[in-house]
Structure 1
């Protein structure tokens, strides 16, 4: 369980550092002690998860309109 939690936390941290704080992948990787490639992969995972949540949210809001 700890490994899974730390992966989620790292993914979230990379996203926050790169997106909200505007750090480059190399700066983020140096700060977290990971490789640049790992930082890019974690960012891709975070974006994929967010897109999935947005699509599900939009679908859940539209679905009741077709309920008769």
Structure 2
């Protein structure tokens, strides 16, 4: 091996993860889905009031 390939292999080893843990992807997916469901539920409940509030604000501008 020449000097350049040795330094390249050392650099590549530096980019590898040292720990074996890959992260909790299913947990983050569950949190994201639950948050989306919560926002959707709140929007369904609050939509009439939000629309009325927006319309009142637009009417006050004219």
Q: TM-score per shorter chain, which class?
A: 0.3 to 0.5
| TM-score, reference length from structure 1 | 0.39
The TM-score, its normalising length taken from structure 2, stands at 0.43
Instruction: Say which structure is richer in helix.
Output: 1
Higher relative contact order (CA 8 A, sep 6+): 1
